[in-house]
Every structure is written in structure tokens, then in C-alpha cells.
Structure 1
């Protein structure tokens, strides 16, 4: 994790800037603004990538975001370079591994710690129980791997989601043909497809897949794309909406943000090929305003920015948002 001295010489940060960024990140976490917290904490990490407080807080932020793969990477760096209180890091690492269903890795780690007597006496019983639990779950996972791949998508919405969340990377390769068939089938649930793609990313799936949603096919490598909560394009659209409505119309803002979040969750990752966040922000604001008989001309932001886009561009985006929105109420 050490930086090249030549690189360090190129940047002269403000005194204790990393600590200011850390505090901003913590404040954002307390307020529930996880994505914004991550931005501050990643910047702090770039300045000082050996600060245990920064790395630990950033890990917590990724855990709250549901990006367990990224959290795992940071914790592995901390363990490799001896950063932070070792058992604080280990305990969080084991928690993250449980979320990723990486029971074999948990077994290896806990067995090593117990055999080498590296665990404080007051924690031995706790770690022994964790080892027994991980061994049990690993056996159950092995049994599940023997089921018919087609069973992965059998059952109601919640059952399918649970099946997906239980997969580890080995399972994904076992069921890959069935997963790809589901993602490419235009008739399958777009929300489940979002959860699948996000799960593939979290598990570190490194191969290109094709996804068909709302008549639009797209290819991507999940491991190299953003998690659904952290896509810069959709975050920029949301920021435009906040800028437009936060001062004058908080009730309209709340509904517009809800529509924005539902829309981008449903279409993920189609936004990868979108070009203009302002176009989609104006479309979402316009649709939401119509539900409340709100006159768009009364919104200063609309008057300021609407001339940057043609009516056809906004109407095109509105039509697509409304078509996707119809899926929410099925």
C-alpha cells in the first residue's frame, strides 16, 4: 500500500486534509449519505492509505452500501500490511466473508488462528463457534450446489432473491448458463436482474455478460462496473433533482427522488450508455410535477436549464421513464 515517493512529491495536501475528509465522511455516514461518505473517505485514503481510522471507516461505509467485495479488499490490505487493531479487522473481515458466503475462506482463517493460538483467551469460544457455524454452512452450500440449476429461479420473488444472495463465486460458475439465460430473456423480472448483476459484482465475477432490459441489450463485466448504489450517472441525475427542488419544493423533491431511485434501480446497468444526466433529471422532475399538477414554469431550475435540451429529448426520456415506471405497479 505504500505510495511511490515520486508520486507523493507531486501532491502537497492541506495540513491534516485527510482528517477533515475523514470527519466529513463520518458525518455523512451518520446522516445516511453513504455514497457521499465514500467519496470523502476514498479521497482521504488517497492522501494517507495507511491510516487505520480512514480504512476502517471506509470499510464500514462499503458494508452499509452493500459492496462487500470492496470492503473485503480493504480489510485484506489492512491484514496484509498490519494496519489497525488486528482482531478488530479480523472480526469485521469474518463478518464480510459471511455476507459473501465465502465459508471455505472463513474455515481456513479461523482454523489457522485457533491452531496457532493467536486468539485472545476470552475470544476462543466465540471463534470456535464461528468455525463450527462456517463448517455447517459450507456443507449446506455444497449440498445446494448439487441441485438442478433451473431451481435457482423457482419460487416467488423473495425465494429467488434469497437463492441469488446465497450464491458464492463457485456457485455462480456452476449456474452460469442458467443465470445468463435469465439475464438475456426480455420477459424476466428487471428488478431480479439488477440484484443478479449486483451480486455478480460483489462476488468478484470477472467475465462479460449480456443483459436485456426494456428492449435494450447491453454487455458489461460486472466486476469492472459500479454497484447499483454507486453509479456516477444516476447520482448526478439525483444531484440535479436536488438542486432543482430542495429549496422551493421539498415534497416534490421527495417524490422525484423516489421515482429517480426506482427508475435507475430497474434499468441498471442500461445507464452505462446514457449521455446527458440533465435530460433524465428534467424528465423525472416533469413526470413528478404532473402528478401534483405543478406548473413547471414556476420551477426556477427548469427555466434555467430547459433551453439546453430540445422538447423532443425531454419527451423521449419521459416516455422511457414512464414505460419503466409501469413495472413498479405491476
Structure 2
């Protein structure tokens, strides 16, 4: 039977009904009938019964049924609550990650947690698992590199620009050294300019200290990513931003749109922006935004009209990648 909790307004189980459900759930669980056990454990949890054995049993059911993502998500929620069973959930989470060969995540988790663990038993368990896990981290990294290289080469061979973009963006937090030769090839071939810009940004973030060749928009250039300014630090970008600054206070929406156009233009064209006329670029951007705000009276020079066409072509290039 169930009754309503006067404080929370939620239904709660009478002890007899709770005992019955717990027995049913654990009977299924002990006989490895995880598909039947899971909804009963979830029902108990929904009624606010957060016993650690029930929580652990639910995680085990999810893992045994192959729903690793949901098991991870559930454990992360439990860990975030910082209950008295926090270290128990950390231990189960680390063990689960280890069993599913997510050795980098095990290392990151345990190294973070060990800073504050004072309980001798858990500290010993965590240090032991960390030691066992350590040799496997390099294996996982090596495997990931080989898979990513294979997928990236496949995307290049099939001219799949969107896949190239996703795979390279996926490396934002990684050491890109193993991919440098592929990147150098992409920078000198007929690659989508946005993909090339992502590569240059990654090389700058990783402070790659060597001169690389770039072929883009039928132009060629040599640059050292470590010392070449990031696109938002480039003098041309800074100059136009300064010219647009007065708009920010007077018309924030106008300014925001103008800056979006500027950022996309510089990003797509980068690094071939050395010869840009900052004043002309600012005039063209303002003209485009004026059109967007339906101002037909805005006068435009012939040079600005030509630059507006180039800006709109760049916009199309920027968004074409996402439309593939």
C-alpha cells in the first residue's frame, strides 16, 4: 500500500509494501533476471528509497543490460549529491569505467578524488586501481589515435568535409602531434577553408613551433603557428572591432550581428587577411547589417559593394559545411 507524505506531497510506501518490492527486485537480481529487476529498483527509487544497495543494484542491472551510458549518467548524479555513500559510488564508477576500457577517465577520476580522500580503506583501493590502470592508459590513447587516423583518412578520401570537421574538432583537448602530417596535407590541398582554419587554431593552441605551408583561396603562405597571432588577436580583426565599438552602446543588437559577420569572415579567410583594408571591411559589414535592419537609405561605395559580396560569399562558405 501507499500513502501521501504530508511534507513533500509525494506518495510513499508502507513498510510491508516496501519489503515486498525489495524482495521481488533482489530475487530477480540474484537470479540474473536484470531486465525484470531494473524497473522494480527504479520504482523503489522513485518512492524515495535511496538505500545504497538498491542504487548499486540498479547500476549493475544497467551495466549487465549493456546500457553503459545510462549507468554512467546515474552514477554521476549520485556522485554529485555527495551523500555519505559518495566514496562507494566513486569506487563503483571507477570500476565500471575500468571494465569498459575507459582508462583515461579512470585516471582523471581517481587522481582528482585522491586529493581529498582520508579514509585509509578507500584510499588503498583507489591507489591500487590507479596503479593497475596506468599501463592501460597508453594502450587506450594509442588505439584512439589509430581509429581517429583511419576515420580521418577515410573522410578525406571520400571528400566528406563534415566528417573531417567533426573529427578534427574532437581533438580540441588532445595532443595533436600524431596527426600533424595529415594536417599539413590538408593545409596544402583543396580542403574546405573552415576545416583549414580549425587545423590552424589547433596548431596554435598546441604551440606547434615549425613553419607550415598553407594553400587557401588560390593563395600560398608560410607561417609558424606558435608565433602567428590567433584570428581574434590579429591586427585587422582588432582594428575593425575598435571601429565597431561605438555601436555597442548605441545599438547592441546591431553591434552583435556586425561582430558575428566580422568573426566569421576573418575565421574563414584566415590567415589570408594581411591585405585587408580595415576601414573598407567595417563599411561593408555596417552596410550588410543596415540591410538586415531594413535601412534602404544607407549609401554604399562601389568598393564597399564589392566587399559586401565577398562577405556574403564567406558567410555561405561558413554555413555550407554545416549544411552538408
* Number of the residue aligned with 2:268: 266
Change (3 A) 1:120 1:220: same
Mapped to 1, the partners of 2:207 and 2:152 lie a distance apart of 19
The equivalent of 2:297 in structure 1 is 295
- Asked if 1:280 is matched to 2:281, the reply is yes
**Aligned partner of 1:328 among 315, 318, 323:** 318
Deviation at 1:213, TM superposition (A): 2.6
Judge conservation of contact 1:214–1:324 (CA < 8 Å) in 2. Answer: no
1:212 has 2:215 as partner: yes
**TM superposition shift of 1:198:** 0.8
The two structures, once aligned, show a CA RMSD in angstroms of 4.1
Structure 1 residue ranges (4+ consecutive) displaced by more than 6 angstroms after TM superposition: 129-134, 168-171
The verdict on how the C-alpha distance between 1:328 and 1:174 changes in structure 2, with shifts beyond 3 A counting, is closer
**Secondary structure, counterpart of 1:210 in structure 2:** strand
Instruction: Work out the number of aligned pairs and report it.
Output: 205
- SS state at 1:270 partner: coil
Gaps of 5+ in 2: 1-103
Larger radius of gyration: 2
Quote how far apart the aligned CAs of 1:197 are.
0.8
- In the alignment, structure 1 residue 163 sits paired with structure 2 residue 167: yes
Which has the higher relative contact order, 1 or 2, with Cα contacts under 8 A spaced 6 or more apart? 1
1:28 — aligned with what?
none
Equivalent residue in structure 1 for 2:309, among 284, 309, 319: 319
1:45 maps to which residue?
A: none
- Mind listing any 5+ residue stretches in structure 1 that lack a counterpart? 1-102, 303-310
Q: Deviations over 1:90-128 (max 9, x none)?
A: xxxxxxxxxxxxx8xx99xx7xxx9xxxx5654995985
TM-superposed CA distance for 1:320, in Å, is 2.5
Q: Residue in 1 aligned with 2:186?
A: 182
1:196 offset after TM fit, Å? 0.9
Q: Distance in 2 between matches of 1:234 and 1:132?
A: 50
Distance 1:321 1:203 in 2: 30
Give the TM-score of the pair, scaled to structure 2. Answer: 0.50
Partner of 1:53: none
The CA deviation at 1:189 is: 1.6
CA change 1:127–1:254 in 2 (3 A) is farther
CA contact (8 A) 1:169 1:204 kept: no
Match of 2:226, SS?
Answer: helix
Higher helix share: 1
Give 1:216 shift: 2.8
Equivalent-residue separation in structure 1 for 2:237 and 2:287 (angstroms): 17
C-alpha distance in 2, partners of 1:136/1:204?
A: 28
Distance in 2 (CA, whole Å) between partners of 1:290 and 1:313 is: 17
CA contact (8 A) 1:255 1:288 kept: yes
2:224 aligned residue: 221
* In 1, Cα distance between equivalents of 2:162 and 2:255: 30
Tell me, in whole angstroms, the C-alpha distance in 1 between the residues paired with 2:313 and 2:154: 27
